[in-house]
Amino acid sequence: SPSLVPPAPPTQQTIRPVTSAAAFAPEHITSVTPAPEPLSNLSCAPEQPQAAPAISCTRCERPNLQYDLHYHCPWCRNGNFDLCLSCYRQGQGCDHWYGFGYMAYERWRRLAPPEGWPAGYERPHVLTPRRWQKPAPHSTAPSSNEPNTADTSSGETTTPQLQEGAFCDRCFAFTDTCYWYCYICLEGAWGFCNSCVQTGQTCTHPLLPVAHLSTLRHQASQQQDPSTVTFTQMPHLRLDTYLLLPVLTDCDICQRPIPPNRTRFHCYVCSEGDYDICTECYYSLSATGKIGQGDGPGGWRRCLRGHRLAVVGYQDIPDGQGQQRVVVRDVVGGRRHKEDHDKEGNSEEGRDTAGGGVAATAIPPPPPPEDSSLGVRCLALWSYFPPEGVEDEVPFPKNAEVTEVEDMNGDWSIGVYAGKVGLFPSNHVRRI
C-alpha cells in the first residue's frame, strides 16, 4: 500500500493558558524519570483474561467503565489509571498529560526550563482509547438474519475481547479497519468511522482514511517489505501502527471506477451512504429527463430516489503521499432544511419530483434557497459536550466548524456539527 508522511498540524492555533491546579496542564516534575516505553513496543494483542476487569474512573470514581469507551494510561499509578469519556473530554488527563493532540507537545516544549528538559525526561503521555466487549450468553445462538460476528468491531462475543485503538468520536464505534482522521478538530485528536462518513455525519474538514496494521497485514506483506512501510502518525493513537487506507469508489450507475481526482455525487441515504454517481452519469440522467431540471445539477441536486446529494472529492496531502476526502458542496438547502414530505424519497411527491420524468416537468419543485440564507459559519474556540441525556444540544470539539448558525437569544445559538442540529452556548464560538 502507498506510504504516507504525517499530515502537518493546523497552523495559527492558540495554546490554552496553563492553570497549575488542573490536570489539563501538569505541574513541573523535578525528578528525572526514565522515558516510558514507546507505545509502538507495547503488545498489540495482549492475552485476553476470562472476564473483563472492573474499571472505575480515576478522577470522578464512576464505576463499571469496562464496557464503555474509556481512556487508559499504561504508565501512571502502576498502569491503573483510567478515565471515563466525560472526564477525558473535560481535559482531566493522567498525571503526566499535557493536553489533546499536537498541542500536548507544544505545551510540553513551552513548559521546558531554559536549558531544556533533562535527558530521559518523560514525554507527554498518550491515553489509549479502549473498551471491553460484553460477552454474549452461551445459551444465545446467533440468528441467521444477524450479521457475521467474526468481525469483533461491534457486537458481542462469548469471551471478553479488549478493543483498543481508533474509535469514532461521534458514535463511539470501534473502527480500526477504517478510521477517517481529522487533524484539525480537537488539536488533531479526532476522527470518524466509515459509517458516519458515508452518511454525512462528520466535520467539514478534510479526512484521511487509515487502518490498523493488523487489518492490512496480509495485503501489506504481499505488496511491500514491512521494514519499508511508512506509518501515518497521529498524536492521539499508538505510534507506528496505522497505515494509509486506499479508498476506491465505483459509480453506482455505470459501475466504472471514479478517479480520485474527479468529484462525484454522493447520497447519504441510499445503501446506507454507499452510493455515488460519477459526473458524466449524473449530467446524463438530468439531460435525459430521468432527473427533473429543478432537481438536477443546477437545482436541488437529487438522486433518482429524491435524496439531496453532496459533491465529494479527494485532495492530495501537501508534502506527502495519500489523499484526503473533502466535501466540496454539501446538500442543497443545508442540514436544517425540512422537506415538505416526511422523508426524502419515501413519498409519492419525492419520487415524482426526482425521477418521474414527465411528472418532474409537470410539478416543478420550488427553487432552492440561496447559500447566504443558511446562517453563518463559526469556529469553535472551546469544546462543548452536553451532559448525558441532553438530546437537543449539539456537541463539538475545539477547532470544529459549526455551520448554519443562528442566534436564538444572545446566550444560545442553533447550528449544525457532524450532521446534528442542536443548541449550544454562543460564547463557545466566533464567526468565521
pLDDT digits (tens, 9 = 90+) for 120-179: 889 999 999 999 998 776 544 444 333 333 344 444 556 678 999 999 999 999 999 999
Residue 390 Ramachandran class (φ > 0 left, ψ -120 to 50 alpha, else beta)? beta
CA distance 62 to 263: 47
* pLDDT score of 218: 54
- Give residues with Cβ within 8 angstroms of 339, minimum separation 6: 350
**307 and 393 share one domain:** no
Strand 162-164 to strand 412-417: parallel, antiparallel, or no bridges (unpaired)?
A: unpaired
Up-side HSE of residue 115: CA atoms within 13 Å toward CB?
3
**101 and 187 share one domain:** yes
Any idea which of 227-231, 289-293, 389-393 has the lowest mean pLDDT?
227-231
Model pTM score: 0.80
Any idea which of 111-120, 181-190, 191-200, 304-313 has the lowest mean pLDDT?
111-120
User: Which 8-state DSSP code applies to residue 55?
Assistant: -
Domain that holds residue 419: 375-431
pLDDT digits (tens, 9 = 90+) for 192-214: 999 999 999 999 999 999 999 98
Q: Minimal CA–CA distance to 417: which of 181, 197, 202?
A: 202
pLDDT above 90: residue 221: no
Local confidence band at 277 (pLDDT 50, 70, 90 cut-offs)? very high
- Asked if residue 12 belongs to a domain, the reply is no
**Residue type at 109 in one-letter notation:** R
**225 and 270 share one domain:** no
**159 and 285 share one domain:** no
pLDDT above 70: residue 341: no
pLDDT digits (tens, 9 = 90+) for 352-367: 444 444 334 457 788 8
**68 and 186 share one domain:** yes
The percent of residues in the chain predicted with pLDDT above 90, rounded, is 61
Q: SS3 of 404, please?
A: strand
**230 and 294 share one domain:** no
**285 and 235 share one domain:** no
Beta bridge partners of 101: none
CA distance 150 to 95: 38
**67 and 191 share one domain:** yes
- Asked if residue 298 belongs to a domain, the reply is yes
Residue 391 is part of a domain; what is its CATH number? 2.30.30.40
**159 and 299 share one domain:** no
pLDDT above 60: residue 256: yes
Quote the number of domains for the chain. Answer: 3
pLDDT above 90: residue 267: yes
**236 and 285 share one domain:** no
User: Within its chain, how far is the Cα of 100 from the centroid?
Assistant: 15
**364 and 390 share one domain:** no
| E-state strands within 108-207 | 128-132, 162-164, 179-182, 190-193
CA distance 182 to 236: 11
- Asked if residue 124 belongs to a domain, the reply is yes
